[in-house]
Structure 1
Amino acid sequence: MGIRGKLIAAVLTAGALTAVVSANVSTALASQPPATQSAAAAGAGQEDNLHKAARLLAVELGISGERALQVLRVLERVVPEGAITDDPRFIIIAKDLGVSPQRLSDALTAVKMKL
């Protein structure tokens, strides 16, 4: 068998392996329980919770829902879970909202309780 024949055989083998692997992955995904089937679905659930929290925070602080969503996204990135009110980043965020750090902390606690 020449080089051309070997190349064709390799391509056909690779195609067959791809088909087998794809079928196995599809079967494995189908056999998983719905809760673990899709990371995207889990991400969507987290995003829904973030929007719910933003709506609640907006009501607590009397700010727009969009602004509350921005605040929550910033807090997720820059302030560790359970941050204390004297964290400089937390203080800056509170001042930017026109509230005290304690008021922001109280509002976030209220949101967590409602969720």
Structure 2
Amino acid sequence: MRRPLLLALALLGILPVAPALAQGPQGYGVLIISRERLEVGTPCEIGLYMQDQLVGRLFPEQSVSYNLPPGPLVVRLQILPGQAPGCNPGIVGEQRSATLTLQAGDILKYRIATGAQGLYLKPAPLDYAP
């Protein structure tokens, strides 16, 4: 009874992936995405899409992590309509997406940043030594 629960929690990112699972060809990689105030000055909620599915919502100073199977992953960011002023839906320009490649056992961290072309993912160092 405990084993399925622990596996479900690990897949949801609540528990770390077991080392044996992460090292094999069927293992998982970890993708961490954070939103820091210095990088994105808007109070609006940012939606995180993977393979065109909304998988996360980030407010300032939040981060999310996902245990994912290896392979290419299309990631897109979008400001979501919300309660804060200026976050209402308007004319939406072309949204850029990024394709990340995740290997089994990888731990990749990105920060959400803003540039002339809108929101994008900026590689970030891990806050600890692996």
Larger Rg: 1
Structure 2 length as normaliser, TM-score? 0.27
Structure 1 length as normaliser, TM-score? 0.29
Higher strand share: 2
Higher helix share: 1
